[in-house]
Amino acid sequence: MPCGKMPPTHGELVARRFGARAAQYDDHALLQRESAARLAAFIAAHGGLPRTGLVVEIGCGTGLLSSLLADQAEHYQATDIAPEMLERCRARLGRLPQLSFAVQDGEGASFPATPAAIVSNLAAQWFRDPVAGLAHLARQTPLLAFAVPLAGSFPEWEQAFRDLGRESGLLPLPEENALTRALSGLAGDSGRRAYFSITSHVIHYENARAFADSFRGIGADQPRPGYHPAPIRSVLRRFAKGMDATARVLYGFIAKETA
């Protein structure tokens, strides 16, 4: 039987898509920039990061969250599945002596020594199973802080497709109840507290094409499984003069109580 190449894994596909867009990522990462600032404030409101030990960031991208948190840590490791993204982060922040970098697939990640904290901004939705992936990360550390978009995001876009009798190609996002229930249960079993907050981020785009291009520009344009593209001229016409896109983002902070 002839030997052929193995098909790429889920992680390899994610790395390729985001790596290919690393150079233009910052131009399109409007939501990611807003959520990084909100997550940093959410962490501060619940006591901040530990002053000693290692803080690991999962899915650092070009360093939007790293630039807000690295100064607060004794040692901060920025990780990303895409080497090209990591190099952009290094170019932005490599001067910081406490910062190190590593290529890492965050889903199922393990560490030689327990990190004092793990943080992640809008990365876990790219896991094959975001709920299980975040629960796994929570087990690896005394403190997990994250932001993840929820099902129900971008209702304006979804409704425009429903009006056509179709579904959009956007990937399904994790359900709020499933995520908070799993993480709250894990926190309770391990003597930790879980804090959650949902923020609706409304991003204005010049038109529908600009909204679609924002996904393509960061490497997030992989359609949901089974999606078959079809003409969307009526959707483009609906938002020809502007579009507000609403992202529902869950912010979570799961930590052991300090004495």
Evaluate whether residue 3 is within a structural domain: no
pLDDT band with cut points at 50, 70 and 90 for residue 3 = low
Distance CA 212, CA 224 (A): 14
Evaluate whether residue 218 is within a structural domain: no
Q: Is the pLDDT of residue 103 over 80?
A: yes
Contact 245, 209 (CB under 8 A): no
Beta-carbon count within 10 A of 128 CB: 12
Evaluate whether residue 159 is within a structural domain: no
Distance CA 220, CA 242 (A): 21
Distance CA 139, CA 114 (A): 10
Distance CA 10, CA 194 (A): 29
Evaluate whether residue 123 is within a structural domain: yes
Taking Cα atoms as reference points, which of 36, 37, 56, 40 lies closest to residue 48?
Answer: 40
Quick one: which H or E segment has residue 255?
A: strand 243-256
Q: What percent of the chain has pLDDT over 90?
A: 84
pLDDT band with cut points at 50, 70 and 90 for residue 222 = confident
Q: For residue 86, give the CATH number of its domain.
A: 3.40.50.150
Instruction: List the Cα angle 181/186/188 in 5-degree steps.
Output: 95
For CA atoms 147, 123, 57, 177, give the dihedral sign: positive
Evaluate whether residue 160 is within a structural domain: no
Domain that holds residue 52: 10-151+174-200+249-256
Evaluate whether residue 61 is within a structural domain: yes
Beta-carbon count within 10 A of 123 CB: 28
At residue 215, the pLDDT reads 92
20-55: pLDDT as tens digits: 999 999 999 999 999 999 999 999 999 999 999 999
Evaluate whether residue 166 is within a structural domain: no
Number of domains making up the chain = 1
Distance CA 142, CA 137 (A): 10
Distance CA 172, CA 60 (A): 22
Evaluate whether residue 236 is within a structural domain: no
What letter does residue 226 receive in the DSSP assignment? T
At residue 4, the pLDDT reads 66
Tokens at residue 113, please?
Answer: 């020594």
Beta-carbon count within 10 A of 219 CB: 24
Tokens at residue 187, please?
Answer: 């926190």
Q: Is the pLDDT of residue 223 over 80?
A: yes
pLDDT band with cut points at 50, 70 and 90 for residue 66 = very high
Distance CA 129, CA 131 (A): 6
